[in-house]
A and B are shown apart, each in its own frame.
Chain A
């Protein structure tokens, strides 16, 4: 029964999409579109492949489409900058800051889900948003969804070496971003 199959995977797909996109509405859209495509193309599924990898490959493609559309819109905003105005031209730093602020105030982010997070969880989620899209995708697929390197390489269509590299440098960046929190935790642990 297809419904059973959807029920089994929808939470995983939604979680991954939400962590990659940081937007609940878009993540729900990804879940719907993913399972519609799974239904359309179920006959093309190779029985020797991992079904979950195949489902996540479709979901990953949906996420990438959304991220690409965001990039286009972002490019449009930059192009629409008026050089005649007296306002200073946006710098790379200010755009990055804008990106972070827009993510924090993302209307699609589900506040109830944020409230459920512990302090550490909130820190991790905010740090995760600051990775590049490609790093974040690999980190989510490995550390949250538990896929192996080979499976991730198949899902995102790249080599294992690239997966290894993206995952490592993504984690290193997360470590740097979370360093203040971790050192605080260590201090607390030592003081006890």
Chain B
């Protein structure tokens, strides 16, 4: 029995140490690296046909697919300004919405809420080894938890930029989508990141230019 103890202990220790050494990808990302940028466009559209654009002066806030309000916080202002700068750098001319722009752009902040349930009995099972009953002066005791549950709520955000063809709208009675950009990840709505996010979306859309 004594001979069995040491090998079993070694196996247990090796499993615990090495399984714990799994390199968890999320723990090895900087805030910038957590973000992803997704763009789509209508491949039948030639963007050289458009010359002017206008951007909505505020951002739509959408929570669980429900419109909440239009807003213009520090991030919104920084992002809208950066977006205009990026499009102008690609040859488009910024005009007022009353000047019949060729392209119209909406920016939205999207929030999705997820609710989950955690069992404290399972939680206790996972973290058993972290608590030391000796600390409270009760050596040999074990912790007891009744079965009860806790609710947690996670909110995930996204930034969406949608570009529509206004030039040809009158003939079709439709505001046709021509380009969309989506950003997700950490630090998404930090005003300090707004310029970098606008640049990233446009730089991966090389076709988005006037010539």
| Chains A and B form a bound pair | no
What residues of chain A have their CB less than 8 Å away from a CB belonging to chain B?
none
What residues of chain B have their CB less than 8 Å away from a CB belonging to chain A?
none
